[in-house]
Amino acid sequence: MAKSGTTEASAKTEASALEVTDTRSGEKHSFPITDGSIRATDLKKIPSGDEDGGGLVSYDPAFLNTAACRSSITYIDGDKGILRYRGYPIEQLAERANFLEVAWLLRHGELPDQKEYDSFVHDITYHTYVHENIRKFLEGFRYDAHPMAMLNSAVAALASFYPDSRNIFDPDQRNISMIRLLAKVPTIAAFSYRHVKGLPFVYPDNDLSYVENFLSMVARMSEPKYEANPVFVRALEILFILHADHEQNCSTSAVRAVGSSHVDPFSAMSAGIAALFGPLHGGANEAVLRMIGEIGHPKNVPAFIEEVKGGKGQRLMGFGHRVYKSYDPRATIVKKLADDVFKIVGMDKDLEIALELERIALSDEYFVSRKLYPNVDFYTGLIYRSMAFPTEFFTVLFAIARMSGWLAQWEEMLLDKEQKIARPRQIYTGPVERDYTSRLAPPKVGPRVAKKDALRQ
Ligand code: CMC
């Protein structure tokens, strides 16, 4: 979790140090504390005591308490339920900003002025088209391909269309790659949708806004101009803003780790998409809807909750968060948004099941004591579904939004002089050295070899 890096806070901690005594040797060690952290590499000074003669390492599976970077992009206070992009509260951005403004903010650190915004929107709009071979590439997928698999592959494939993007330390190349990714991902996402539906692809309409154009590519049929429902447009804009960044989560860490090898940005972003696909991360909104489908009726909710509490591996999807332990501020905004959308589309059985799940879980000791509250994904799936997006497409919508955060984090990592190729340590638990003795049957020398030799003549 990020600490707010104010000069005042840094000054207070500069003189502080952590004093520890190694009880094995009685030696004392002092580690400077800066910004609420000690350097894990300082621990190397203390001998591990292992026969390899190395220094002590910190052991932190799943990075529960390890800061891997300094970042000025997103601030989260999980206990207080705070989320800010570049200092701006998520509530204000969701209410008043638009997605491209937020994408600019995440990368550049300040909101764009009118000139910067107009030029950014122009550039994004100009690059929405994809090479026809990307279209053909997408057509090669099976009729039932998961759109996240299609999106991931197509984004990785873009690296082959833009070989100059490998010059990641050229600011112009970085800029055009970032524009291309933001511009083309909605097009690829929409093409994936149309492919699975067996519908003809709709090309970008550059008269429309980012979100309207995306909806047009998804939903337009024979009408010459697609006009989206303004409530849906605003809902999607807000959902994109809420999902734009979330500091060092699984997919962002994947982008940073893969990007730290200095690979091109298309390959690094495809690593982020792959991580997001998982049901414990971006795939959770899809998993919520599947879970609701399995529950089937509001009357089955209590039995389902008991099953979850039974601890047989079943989880209440859309509940709990690694960082938020009081509430997820995004969930509060999304719940309000859900009310607006449901006013248009009406209540249905699935929504009733969701509300019943929420009601019971929020008053049940198991969930309360573990600080398990609805997270952003609990409601987003319901909104997407009421907008008629198929369940498999939910994580794709998340990926479109998160691309802006991944790109900002990727560039910050590249320009950070302290960063090197990501390479965690391990604690080896395997066998000690032993000699090789084959356990296979001895190779047969027989007619197959002779026949092959005969063919060579
Ligand atoms: N349902 C039931 N029990 C749960 C749940 C849940 N959703 N989440 C955590 N627990 C229990 C868990 O079994 C453990 O209990 P115990 O202490 O008795 O062993 C305790 O709560 C702590 O869980 P944890 O696994 O240590 O928590 P974590 O921080 O590692 O996991 C999480 C965070 C989000 C992966 C997890 O809460 C989860 O699997 N939630 C469901 C999936 C989900 O909704 N994911 C979307 C996250 S928000 C979008 C994003 O940022 O990606």
pLDDT single digits (tens) 117-136: 999 999 999 999 999 999 99
The pLDDT, as a whole number, for residue 238 is 97
Enumerate the H helices of 301-393 as residue ranges. Answer: 301-309, 329-345, 349-363, 365-369, 376-386
In ligand 1, the atom with minimum distance to the C-alpha of 308 is 2
Nearest protein Cα to ligand 1, atom 41: 317
Tell me the pLDDT band of 8, cut-offs 50, 70 and 90: very low
Q: Which of 276, 291, 322, 397 to mutate to test the pocket of ligand 1 (most atoms within 8 A of CB)?
A: 322
In the chain, what percentage of residues exceed pLDDT 70? 94
Mean pLDDT of 352-372: 92
Mean pLDDT of 307-315: 87
Question: Would you identify the CATH topology of the domain 93-416?
Answer: Citrate Synthase; domain 1 (1.10.580)
pLDDT band at 283 (very low <50, low <70, confident <90, very high): confident
Distance CA(86)–CA(72), nearest Å, equals 7
Q: What pLDDT is attached to residue 36? A: 95
For residue 280, report the distance from its CA to the centre of ligand 1, in Å. 8
Query: Is it the case that residue 50 has pLDDT exceeding 90?
Result: no
pLDDT tens-digit readout, 348-361: 788 889 989 999 99
Q: Confidence band (pLDDT; 50, 70, 90) for 25?
A: very high
Hey, what are 114's tokens? 């009118």
Tell me what the mean pLDDT of segment 268-289 comes to: 92
Supply the angle between the helices 99-108 and 394-415 in degrees, to the nearest 10. Answer: 20
**Separation of CA 64 and ligand 1 centre (Å):** 13
Q: Once rounded to an integer, what is the mean pLDDT over residues 271-278?
A: 96
* Euclidean distance between CA atoms 189 and 219, whole angstroms: 12
Helix (H) and strand (E) counts in the chain:
19, 5
- Which of 29, 108, 131, 281 is labelled catalytic? 281
Q: How far apart are CA 179 and CA 457, in angstroms?
A: 58
Burial class, 341, CB count within 10 angstroms (exposed 0-12 / middle 13-18 / buried 19+):
buried
- Of 163, 142, 164, the C-alpha closest to 153 is 142
- Residue 454 is predicted with a pLDDT of 58
Q: Ligand 1: which residue has its CA nearest to atom 26? A: 322
- Residue 13 pLDDT greater than 80, yes or no: no
b/e sequence 276-288, b meaning 16+ C-beta within 10 Å: bbeeebbbbbbbb
Q: Residue 293 phi/psi, 5° resolution? A: -60, -40
Given a cut of 80, whether residue 371 has pLDDT beyond it is: yes
- Residue 272 phi, psi (nearest 5): -65, -40
Instruction: Give the pLDDT of residue 338.
Output: 87
Separation of CA 59 and ligand 1 centre (Å)? 21
Residue 302 pLDDT grade (very low, low, confident, very high; cuts 50, 70, 90): very high
What is the total residue count of the chain? 457
Q: Please check the confidence at residue 453 and state whether its pLDDT lies above 80.
A: no
Whether residue 457 is predicted with pLDDT greater than 60 in this model: the reply is no
Residue 354, Cα to own-chain centre: how many angstroms?
24
Indicate the pLDDT class of residue 418, thresholds 50, 70 and 90.
Answer: very high
5 has pLDDT over 80: no
Q: Determine contact, residues 401/239, Cβ cutoff 8 Å.
A: yes
- The whole-number average pLDDT for the span 145-171 is 98
Q: Is it the case that residue 345 has pLDDT exceeding 90?
A: no
Mean pLDDT of the region 52-81: 94
Ligand 1 shell residues, CB under 6 Å: 246, 249, 280-282, 284, 308, 315-322, 370, 372, 375-377
Q: Is pLDDT above 50 for 107? A: yes
Q: Confirm whether 170 is a catalytic residue.
A: no
When mean pLDDT is compared across 74-83, 342-351, 385-394, the lowest value belongs to 342-351
The rounded Å distance from CA 363 to ligand 1 centre is 17
**Atom 43 in ligand 1: which residue has the minimum CA distance?**
318
Q: So where are the chain's domains? A: 8-59, 93-416
Cβ atoms of 103 and 405 closer than 8 Å: no
Q: What is the distance between the alpha carbons of residues 292 and 386, in angstroms, rounded to a whole number?
A: 14
Hey, what are 429's tokens? 């638990």
User: What is the rounded distance in angstroms from the CA atom of residue 232 to the CA atom of residue 383?
Assistant: 9
Report how far ligand 1's centroid is from the alpha carbon of 83 (Å). 19
Q: Is 281 a catalytic residue?
A: yes
Closest CA to ligand 1's atom 28: 322
Residue 232's Cβ-count burial label (10 Å; 0-12, 13-18, 19+) is buried
Q: Which atom of ligand 1 is nearest to the CA of 375?
A: 48
pLDDT grade for 279, boundaries at 50, 70 and 90: confident
Is pLDDT at 452 greater than 70 in this prediction? no
Q: Mean pLDDT throughout 47-59? A: 89
pLDDT of residue 456: 62
User: What pLDDT score was predicted for residue 11?
Assistant: 45
Per the prediction, the chain carries an average pLDDT of: 92
pLDDT at 274 over 60: yes
Question: For 174-223, what is each residue's pLDDT tens digit?
Answer: 999 999 999 999 999 999 999 999 999 999 999 999 999 999 999 999 99
